[in-house]
Structure 1
Amino acid sequence: MHGPVVPGWLLVALCAVTGSYCLLRLRSGSARARSAAGGEAVMGFGMAAMAAPAAFAPPGPWLSTAYAMVFGGGALRALWLARGAAHHLHHVVGSLAMVYMALAMAAPGSGHAGHEGHSAGGVPLLTGVLLLYFAGYVLSAGARLLPSAGGGARPRGEPASGAPPESWGARPELALACRLSMGIAMLAMLVTV
């Protein structure tokens, strides 16, 4: 959330670029893909705003409340959409993690030391569970981006056997790369809680 300035701005840039690509994805694909892209765009831009260094956007109770409301609404929307697609459950977890971090920003005391439920090492239990979840998600998404061992991968940018070329917004490997980058950004933000 609010750590050193240079890594904070790099995290802002990563999340903003990811959110921008998700906006491109809104123009192509099925209604289900567009719905996922919309939620991911909101998540990307929200993460970028929340990662802004404290010198640029000093956190205040009103800002934390706004973040909690936006991401709480995102969690409710994702929970509603999860009825038809299990992928939205990840969006629920991500949105609730952002609500948790927004509430941690508003907690009294510096360094978020006012959290209840610390384990022996000083890490709140919920933070540890979220770190484990997102670490597993990042490893899983990263493994899915690796080329298959069968050598069936086609060169980048070339359509599969006579298929029309894919637009930038419809490339599944780029959508997965965006999800991977948001997962990495979520890990970086959770480490600062």
Structure 2
Amino acid sequence: MLFNEDVFKRRTELGGSIEVICGSMFSGKTEELIRRLRRAQIARLNVEIFKPKTDTRYDETDVVSHDRNSIPSTPVENASSILLLGSHVQVVGVDEAQFFDDELPYVCNTLANKGVRVIVAGLDMDFQGRPFGPMPQLMAMAESVTKVHAVCVRCGNPALYSYRLVPGEARILLGEKESYEPRCRQCYLEDGL
């Protein structure tokens, strides 16, 4: 059988997917994202990584885990920038997806429909236990969802909540261990909302 470029292109287009890595703060979401992206790089796939421009906690450009593992990325203002910059790659990684605008699910779906493997990491719930940003929509669209858990700092059980330690009602408050701690459902509810 002769090589048919149209058939090859169609197979590539059908090979796209969306993978979501979600959970609370300190659960290893970014660590898992970096692990998957490094494996794609080892496989010599063309990889591009994006994060919101507002996330400057550890580094202006790199995606950095709480364990200080890092991978170079491109900070972007909005989700549509990902579509422009990531349209000619095989794998796209997105960190801190909850901070992106509502266009992110459309962007990820468009890339996946073009044959791109899209790996997205983000908080599934905010500090009040409510679904966060575009994450619920992404989880519904994804071929796979991996929910990772931190360890509750109070009792040691699996933690799925990001408990805010500092006062304030703003939904977005960039912070680390001085501002948040992982808690299980029971320990989260003990102190109320």
Shared fold (TM-score greater than 0.5)? no
Q: Which has the higher strand share?
A: 2
TM-score by length of 1: 0.27
